[in-house]
Structure 1
Amino acid sequence: MPYFKPFKMIILGFDGVLGSVLSGALDLFSFTGVSWQRFSNESVEPRFNVQIASLGGGDIRCSNRLIMQAHCDIRDVTECDLLLVPTIGDSIDKVLKQNSELLPHLVRLANTKADIASNCSGAFFLAKAGLLDHKIATTHWAMPISLRQIFHWWTYKKISL
């Protein structure tokens, strides 16, 4: 019997996603703790139950031309512990326009107990859905100006290291 309940995680798949980030996130969260358990000859108890969800559950055409198969339809996801929006690999404007039907599902899941995170330029999806209004967010170091130009309400603070 597991000593914990695995986190239910959904990774959002969309045409134009950066393929390495989509598959990398799947690997990272699917194998969190699992490799150690195997090396230690322990029974395998995954920490995350990870699925890639796309609109309609259809294939995902990554920016590197890799085609990945989704596990489920985002419309069927009623709850999750964590929703991850990975990096946009193609033109941000093009990807946001072509995948605009995903935005209501981000808002819908944000209104549940789900934590929502993005990787790099995935923050543009969250901004477009209105989920970053009056919030602190991070994105790639070269993208804050683009984010501000697209979403005029957004301001950023440059942090010196």
Structure 2
Amino acid sequence: MQRRVLIVVFPGFQLLDMAGPADVFATAGLLAPEHPYAVEVVAPGGGAVPAGNGVTVTAAALGETTGPVDTLLVAGGPALPARLADRELVAGVARLAAGARRVASVCNGAFLLAEAGLLDCRRATTHWLSAGELQSRYAGVEVDAEPLYIEDGHVWTSAGVLSGVDLALALVARDHGHALAGDVARGLVVYLHRPGGQSQFSTPMRAMTPRSEPLRELQTYIDANPGADLSVPALAVRVGMSARHFSRVFTEQTGLSPGRYVERSRADTARRLLELTGLPLEAVARESGLGSPETLYRVFRRHWRVSPGDHRRRFQSKER
């Protein structure tokens, strides 16, 4: 059965918000011809639609699009806030969503879903830079800026730009299993289907870059040596500070306490080991500096809302 995917764009949309998911669905159809997707691009008025980077795509007219829809996906882009007053765009999304099996957004495309009333009383995410505005503008939406994507009923929302690829891979996995989603990811040479509960930020991204060069070097040391003694006293010695002064300065310059930074760095290491190696959980816990399988389990649930074993079963590379 062919699944019809409509991607809604507008003048000034983010090209990757459209192209990333479109290539995921197209690649899934190539790898599994028995599970085809038909991707269509629609926009108010149709015709030539310029993306924010100057590339122009051809779209069908949103107002004239009819028929059953499997997946309605709304792109985002810097120009979107100015488009929220376009009643044709908002009404068109609301109309198509009413007949779609599921609805999704990429980046600040969540604003368009919210404007159409599709996120009322739902949990949703968007690009972390826009999360505060989404919450203040639409009080009925429960905004969570942390995850890469969120599923709430039949409505999916995702974070910034390339997280649209993660979202599309998750939709393919939901439709046809994680094996096909993994094959698509490898075919596109992208990260092997990150779970939605994973933060939008890797450990270095989640922390600000310190002004102090010794602290920048210390961050590199922590990320490269998860099994070392990374206690506050030991780290303070490495940068020649008292433990109390070090904790204050590190937190001030990175936005994370030393303990939180270390835990997140070790959690990232554990995630990579689970995906790329066949090490038993005891060894993963030891190599990542988390110590025991019990601690590994607690940290994994806290950061990614899944167990280490479940994460490995779903996302371990076949090419390790």
TM-score bucket (shorter structure): 0.7 to 0.9
The correspondence of residues 137-152 of structure 1 with structure 2, limited to 5 A, is 137-152=124-139
Aligned residues: 147
Name the residue aligned to 1:68: 57
> Judging changes above 3 Å, is the alpha-carbon distance between structure 1 residues 69 and 136 closer, same or farther for their aligned structure 2 residues?
same
Name the residue aligned to 2:81: 93
Question: Which of 21, 36, 56 is residue 45 of structure 2 equivalent to?
Answer: 56
Unaligned runs of 5+ in 1: 38-43
Q: State the distance in 1 between where 2:139 and 2:123 align.
A: 15
Name the residue aligned to 2:282: none
Q: State the distance in 1 between where 2:133 and 2:142 align.
A: 11
Q: Which has the higher contact order (CA 8 A, sep 6+)?
A: 1
Name the residue aligned to 2:21: 25
The answer to which of 131-140 and 105-114 deviates more is 105-114
The 8 Å contact of residues 128 and 145 in structure 2, kept in 1 or not, is answered as no
What TM-score, normalized by structure 1, do the two folds share? 0.79
Identity %: 30
**RMSD across aligned C-alpha pairs, in angstroms?**
2.1
Poorly superposed stretches of 4+, deviation over 6 Å? none
In terms of fraction of residues, the more helix-rich structure is: 2
Question: Which of 68, 90, 104 is residue 91 of structure 2 equivalent to?
Answer: 104
Name the residue aligned to 2:7: 11
Which amino acid counterpart does residue 109 of structure 1 have in structure 2? L
> How many Å apart are 1:117 and its aligned residue?
0.5
> Judging changes above 3 Å, is the alpha-carbon distance between structure 1 residues 118 and 15 closer, same or farther for their aligned structure 2 residues?
same
State whether structure 2 residue 114 is matched by structure 1 residue 118.
no
Query: Residues 62-94 of structure 1, C-alpha deviation per residue, up to 9 Å, x if partnerless?
Result: 111211111x2222222211100012233x422
Unaligned runs of 5+ in 2: 147-301, 304-320
Which one has a bigger Cα radius of gyration?
A: 2
What TM-score, normalized by structure 2, do the two folds share? 0.42
The answer to which of 19-28 and 5-14 deviates more is 19-28
